[in-house]
Structure 1
């Protein structure tokens, strides 16, 4: 008789927990579907950067004017975007990652603010400026991933801290720059520090109390990487021991990587996160300092219960000390949100020789009855996958100047590398395109379901690249390469294009003087917005690429454009404050061409358009 009340009590508690979790998910889902709001880093779980709002259209966009602006009081690169939820705008800053809640009902009066107490020494760990890519929302909380690795949950109404948890260890050289993403009853966050030999991972915490749900490493054993027996079930060749005929021969000057035919691949293999890190290694086990940072954007398919993200470069930029494919760096993963177990993984740049960090966003979309996912990688290829199983649908160069590889074999997924542009220790490789910045870096693309096109901000930059000897010391930079950067063959350093994800080709392409480092926004009136490093905020015709409007803001734009509606009026906005990799050298006053990992030489003209360091501000426009 005594057992029944206990059982009932447990049942009631479980029911309460499930209802609470469902409520958190349902509330965010409702906010995401409401186009008057901007409640998720890239508007929706699919990472589209698309809003159906259409009050601002092709006919009246020329009348856009400043509505209001808010100076953050913080300098350096302001990446990411604010959130807009129920009449409140939540704005973040570069380090020290302050947060402001602004009341849109009361002339943007500050409702509350949060000022993290971070050790200033953390700034030295941030390779590519003091950036933070934004906030997350769910369960009545605003989530901030501080640069020092602390994930903080704040009460959305008051700013009071509800809980915090340490995600990474700064003593190892790790930091955090990504926006937290709320998915179901979890907060997903990443890891930065590939340039410090950090072994990175992606982590999910329970939204209620910050307790650990799961963690998946980018390198190491299958157990550490949360890879099970059904991994890559439909594409077992993605789990091959080596994709090239002579991986060791490819790691010496004059060597090359001859891709293996599918029938010659050895697959499926287990523990590839260990086995593909061969000798010689600068440390005992290369995978233990294997990089694979996860500081990008994460997408989610509720029907499949899968989340998608990319891992970054392998630890140390000198490829000669880590022969092998170096899995699972440079990989697109699809993982079960509840358990973290990987369903599939595809490595885009095996044995990366150029720092083509693979963490860019993956955008989910449907076409011709297929569930698809498209990813514009730093390596210069635009990939479209069947997102249910990872099968390649298309993999094409985003611009003809890409030369490190000739093509991607759709049957095997293997890049056909051009040995003329391979890199080796103490050899200064010339004319590699793209540069380590990639054809696109973290600045996210947008997708419009109306046009079924992707809108992609581009870098048009090439480089010289000389790997050098570098010893691993915990907590110290471990780059092992010297770079210079210069404009690509178009004679400019950037561009903006519309891309057909099924055909793998550009529909239109506009040149930009500098890299287009602002994330794109597409709207229901077939407009697309983005910002530039020379301070312009622009609106284009999404179908033709014709420029319809532009306005100069106070500093170069590395933030992502957003739109929302308030009291029946549509607004568009963007954070300004130059920085990121392109602007870090200018912000720090570095002048040698190789400073800022090559950015100083490539972007020396930015000082003609920007005060340094860049001052942060939110810029909002309306009719």
Structure 2
């Protein structure tokens, strides 16, 4: 018996009530306890991107000025944020994913730098620009995820390589773009490549030496997905064999899908990662090239010992060749960090027909003595779950323009699709809202425990979508659809909004000319920061959304706002350098409307606000 199979077999028989003996990285825990640091990709394990720092406030923000900048020397999209621990700031770049350690005590002098040696051909299999989403910190190490699938541990003091490990193989189209997440004694890494027919997984490596602790696939048998006997114990209907009844043939032109009620569902079933892929996708059994990418921002709850993350779209984008729910793509998972065994999993978009990639972040928050998990999905719905059980509390549209489904049934958890917007091979479905890049893409939201509100960047984009026949070839793009994108009914392509996570209702909403593609930051002084594709870095009032301050940086912002304190002063910063899905066409000089999966046409006006390719820089502000 293989060692991994033995571990799965033992762990599957355990309950997840009590965390196992693995201990946290003490330096990370100590760093996160100090609000002056930014030691986690989103500030803290809860993923809230909330800071207790309040020196910069509504009364003095008009005096916020540029304090210092750092040009990364690299072009293309710069996502994520630096890590700040004590007097050291660690910043990463887009491909080739260089790392710089800057001394905040010495005018940001470069203490050490790390320059990965990567095969340039890796860039050809990066779906949506040469992005890297950031660094991890713990056990005296800085953790870097290279685009070529290599996870590297660097000595935080010297930059010397401590260990490295290969996570995925770019030769089959698999890459790594996610931030490294240090949780307890492990570092968690996902994978990208659904547009190349990759079967993706979450991997947990031991922080000390880089050895593999566990790996959980997004598709396949329960033994591969790490699903144990108590999976979805509180909501067994999440493990239904099928949630739809075919209408007019289902997977053919003119066909659609009728949602089944909870009473009509057949559950619980095992091995749904195999059974819900009902037809080979031109190669093997469908699920073996099923996608399910993982590249978001992942929170962790120490009390339950659970980590939460979303899986991405099923491969291929042509839904007619993969009948069934296509589990466990498009799913929120809650897993035990020590064993990897899934406690619960909820599929948001069964049988995805629109590339509504489910990787967006989960944010944990407390209300009335209970812990909840909130998720703004690309499909246009925002979900609130009971964090421990996965029970669905809220599922509401983030904006009325969302039209692929009328609503989500809270009893069954099933979205009720509108057949007018189903997609089928060689049929050009028009007016689908949102577009494939969703009402929010990678740009993470923030939460303020002071206001009790979520602050979410928005895309306001619709599309036409025509699936086409596409044959799988290892290492080659495998999309099987042609898209065009255009502004939604509000006449703009983006926005920024505040939501009450207990009702799903919008409290306020600001329109933006382009998608707000930068991650949000909330602070204790009731300020919220975010960046825009037309180069603005903004601060708004957390309570009403009133714009209080803005500064135009050198290139569009797709990075995440962050803050830190140093020698009694609060600093707020953001990476600039346009790119990502919204900006990749501009960076590559693509001009046909359908280029870059529709982004070239939808975002053609970005060239009026940005030089191409976007130049990377770190911009830091203070009073």
Q: Fold conserved (TM > 0.5)?
A: yes
Is this contact kept in 2: 1:404–1:421, CA < 8 A?
A: yes
Q: Report what 1:44 is aligned to.
A: 44
* Equivalent residue runs for 1:28-67 within 5 Å: 28-67=28-67
Q: Report what 2:235 is aligned to.
A: 235
Counterpart Cα distance in 1 of 2:509 and 2:27: 39
Q: Report what 1:579 is aligned to.
A: 579
* Equivalent residue runs for 1:106-255 within 5 Å: 106-246=106-246, 249-255=249-255
Q: Report what 2:262 is aligned to.
A: 262
Give 5+ residue unaligned stretches, structure 2: 1-20
Counterpart Cα distance in 2 of 1:209 and 1:247: 53
Count residues with an aligned counterpart: 604
Is this contact kept in 2: 1:280–1:323, CA < 8 A?
A: no
Instruction: Please give the secondary structure, in 2, of the residue aligned with 1:245.
Output: strand
CA displacement, residues 355-399 of structure 1 (integer Å, 9 cap, x when unaligned): 000000000001122210000000000000001110000000000
Is this contact kept in 2: 1:403–1:418, CA < 8 A?
A: yes
Counterpart Cα distance in 1 of 2:356 and 2:312: 8
Is this contact kept in 2: 1:461–1:486, CA < 8 A?
A: yes
* Equivalent residue runs for 1:175-574 within 5 Å: 175-246=175-246, 249-279=249-279, 281-574=281-574
Instruction: Please give the secondary structure, in 1, of the residue aligned with 2:228.
Output: coil
Counterpart Cα distance in 2 of 1:423 and 1:32: 46
1:70 aligns with 2:67: no
CA displacement, residues 110-148 of structure 1 (integer Å, 9 cap, x when unaligned): 000000000000000111000000000000000000000
Is this contact kept in 1: 2:248–2:254, CA < 8 A?
A: no
CA displacement, residues 182-241 of structure 1 (integer Å, 9 cap, x when unaligned): 000000000000000000000000000000000000000000000011000000000000
Structure 1 position 280, deviation (Å): 5.1
Counterpart Cα distance in 1 of 2:538 and 2:183: 31
CA displacement, residues 543-597 of structure 1 (integer Å, 9 cap, x when unaligned): 0100000000000000000000000000000000000000000000000000011
Q: Report what 2:14 is aligned to.
A: none
Is this contact kept in 1: 2:247–2:255, CA < 8 A?
A: no
Give 5+ residue unaligned stretches, structure 1: 1-19
Counterpart Cα distance in 1 of 2:549 and 2:298: 31
CA displacement, residues 496-535 of structure 1 (integer Å, 9 cap, x when unaligned): 0000000111000000000000000000000000000000
Counterpart Cα distance in 1 of 2:334 and 2:56: 36
Instruction: Please give the secondary structure, in 2, of the residue aligned with 1:425.
Output: coil
Structure 1 position 66, deviation (Å): 0.4
- Which moves more between the two structures, 245-254 or 45-54? 245-254
Is this contact kept in 2: 1:447–1:453, CA < 8 A?
A: yes
Structure 1 position 282, deviation (Å): 2.0
Distance 1:401 1:254, change over 3 A: same
Q: Report what 1:105 is aligned to.
A: 105
Structure 1 position 174, deviation (Å): 0.2
Instruction: Please give the secondary structure, in 2, of the residue aligned with 1:273.
Output: helix
Counterpart Cα distance in 1 of 2:115 and 2:462: 39
* Equivalent residue runs for 1:80-91 within 5 Å: 80-91=80-91
Distance 1:248 1:91, change over 3 A: farther
Aligned alpha-carbon RMSD (Å):
1.1
Counterpart Cα distance in 1 of 2:112 and 2:248: 57
Counterpart Cα distance in 2 of 1:480 and 1:28: 43
Instruction: Please give the secondary structure, in 2, of the residue aligned with 1:484.
Output: strand
For normalisation by structure 2, the TM-score amounts to 0.96
Distance 1:219 1:21, change over 3 A: closer
Is this contact kept in 1: 2:173–2:198, CA < 8 A?
A: yes
Is this contact kept in 1: 2:88–2:102, CA < 8 A?
A: yes
Counterpart Cα distance in 2 of 1:547 and 1:281: 49
Is this contact kept in 1: 2:22–2:338, CA < 8 A?
A: no
Is this contact kept in 2: 1:247–1:323, CA < 8 A?
A: no
Q: Report what 2:79 is aligned to.
A: 79
